[in-house]
Amino acid sequence: MRRFFTLLISLLISSGIFSRDLNSGDSTYKYFHDFQLGVTVAFTEIGPFPLAELSTSHGICFTNRFWAGVGVSTIYFMTVTPYLIGRVNFIAKEKPSKNTPWFALKAGYMVYFDTGESDYNSINIEPRLGLSHLRRNGKSSWSFFISANAFQGRVFPKMGVGFEF
């Protein structure tokens, strides 16, 4: 339980720091932040098993279509995965569209909190397809995504929702 609160507090602190930078007019780049909640379906010996995932990403928008950044995620509070992420919007943000389809690629290294009989730490690669829906305030959006979470030499399907600002 202590790990859960430590992770939650660190996510909140990092979002507060990056949100403060969002409002500063000193930079020519725009910043991107998101929080996502997803469900990974792990196929085990006893059958499919859903695992909740929580992640946050913080990045820089280089153009209206492309941004890159870093993030951290956890699956069922059993793992922590620091990762790099790149995202391409299929529609430029400057065009008047409420819905924006996108493709993202996450790559990181998954570390398990508990050690078992074997070492499950591994490289994690996750391509994502999603759709962002701009909220009425025009500054934040909701997103829905599907992905293939590849780690431990296997591929697990995932779907989830996110909040972007």
CATH of region 28-164 = 2.40.160.20
Residue 50's DSSP bridge partners are 41
Per-residue model confidence as pLDDT tens digits over 91-146 = 876 666 789 999 999 999 998 887 665 567 889 999 999 999 988 887 789 999 99
> What is the average pLDDT value for the chain, to the nearest integer?
81
Q: What is the pLDDT of residues 63-84, one digit of tens each?
A: 888 999 999 999 887 889 999 9
CA dihedral 25, 26, 31, 33 (to 10 degrees): -70
Distances (CA, A) of 93 to 12, 69, 115, 156: 26, 18, 44, 31
Distance of alpha carbon 12 from alpha carbon 18, whole angstroms: 10
What percent of the chain has a predicted confidence (pLDDT) above 70?
Answer: 76
The confidence score (pLDDT) of residue 20 equals 47
